[in-house]
Amino acid sequence: MKQSYRLNYKIVGKGPVVVMLHGLAGTSQYFDRITKHLPDHQIISIDLLGFGKSPKPKNIQYTVQDHVNAIASTLEDINIKTPYVMLGISMGTLLALEYAKKYPKYISKIVLVSPTIYSSPVVAKKKIDETRAPNILMFGPVAKFACKNICSRQKLAQKINPLVMRHIPKDVAKTVCEHSWESYSRSMQNVVINQPKQDITKIPDIPLYIIYDEKDNLIEQDLIQDIARHCRRAEIVHADGGHGMLVNNTSLVAEPLNRLL
């Protein structure tokens, strides 16, 4: 029998529920800014399995199903009213889609922000290579060394990260290392790189909203547009702010979000 993990989460506000799933190396802290711009909703922001203050087991592979099962167990414990909106950013968009496929009756809308949805592992690696983050810090022995020697020392990481990651707010940068090498590397490999092919026909009647910056190199735009064409109730919204628009351009992204939610 597989263990059922309970994840750390925050609940803010009142109103229709929006469940938010962060990206790789993120935590629920990522959503604190956008939450303030959504006063008419109850926001449940989750630390994914292996990240933030959630459990970080070393003996699992951090597959899509591992993550989805943990999300499902946690939301079941919270006992929130259905249906609710499922919002994901970056890697969280993959998990939001897979969760919606498994539990379509629970979902009123799906919102994908900066989706890292790719047509193949080759494309996934190419897109990651195109970012300004050095590839050497994303994969391989140097990445492993850095993660094990910095991420395991949270006080050190909280001092170093804001200096290195000046493109994101300090409070978010401080939480970037709240994971283990196992949770980071295996989620990268088993969720982002070797992701399941997206079959939108499994969620044909759920409104799907996709928000991304057209200048974001991590986005496979042709694939995203093709996905939208195959969904009867899909809408693409372009916004500025790059891949991290929810923290880098929060007030402007809040405008379309409030309309879509």
The model's confidence at residue 157, banded by pLDDT at 50, 70 and 90, is low
Residue 2 has pLDDT above 70, yes or no: no
Query: Nearest to residue 173, comparing CAs of 150, 140, 145?
Result: 150
Average pLDDT over residues 76-85: 92
pLDDT at 25: 84
Chain segment 159-179, per-residue pLDDT in tens = 666 556 667 666 666 677 788
Contact 82, 105 (CB under 8 A): yes
Structure confidence at residue 162 (pLDDT): 53
Q: What is the value of pTM for the model shown?
A: 0.91
Omega before residue 196 within 30° of 0, cis: no
Per-residue model confidence (pLDDT) at position 30: 92
> Mind listing the pLDDT tens digit for each residue in 202-260?
787 899 999 999 999 999 999 999 988 888 789 999 999 999 999 989 998 999 999 99
pLDDT score recorded for residue 129 = 79
pLDDT over 50 at 136, yes or no: no
Count the alpha carbons within 13 Å of 31 in the hemisphere toward its beta carbon. Answer: 28
Query: What are the residue boundaries of the structural domains of the chain, listed by start?
Result: 9-260
Write 55-63 long-range contacts (CB < 8 A, 24+): 55/5, 55/6, 55/7, 56/179, 56/180, 56/182, 56/183, 57/3, 57/5, 57/182, 58/180, 58/182, 60/186, 61/186, 61/190, 62/182, 62/183, 62/186, 62/187, 62/190, 62/191, 63/186, 63/190, 63/191
| CATH for the stretch 9-260 | 3.40.50.1820
